[in-house]
Amino acid sequence: MKAKKKVISTNELPTKFGWSFWIIAYLILDKMNAGATLWIVAGSVLFLWILLFGFIKGNEQYFSILSLKTNIEKWINND
């Protein structure tokens, strides 16, 4: 089984990527009176984004950057 990728915990990040892009895209498409083809393309892109995002999130293992910093400082100070 493939090892999970270590990533920084989202609680320690200054900002989070939210749904604002998709809300803005929806409002623009709605305001432009987009045709069915454009809505299908936008929906397909959204579906692929969610699928890919879920796959990537499933292969992540969170770690705390703050505890990592503390451990590095202890390691450096012990020498």
13-27 per-position pLDDT tens digit:
555 556 777 788 888
**Position 36 in a domain:** yes
SS3 5: strand
13, 20, 14, 8: which is closest to 60 by C-alpha? Answer: 8
**Position 15 in a domain:** no
How many structural domains comprise the chain?
A: 1
pLDDT confidence of residue 47: 87
Q: Which residues pair with 8 in a beta bridge?
A: 63
Burial of 60 (0-12, 13-18, 19+ CB in 10 A): middle
Could you tell me the CA-to-CA distances from 43 to 13, 29, 31, 55 in Å, in that order?
29, 11, 16, 18
Domain with 39 in it: 5-10+20-78
Segments in the chain below pLDDT 70: 1-3, 5-18, 62-63, 79
Q: What is the pTM of this model?
A: 0.47
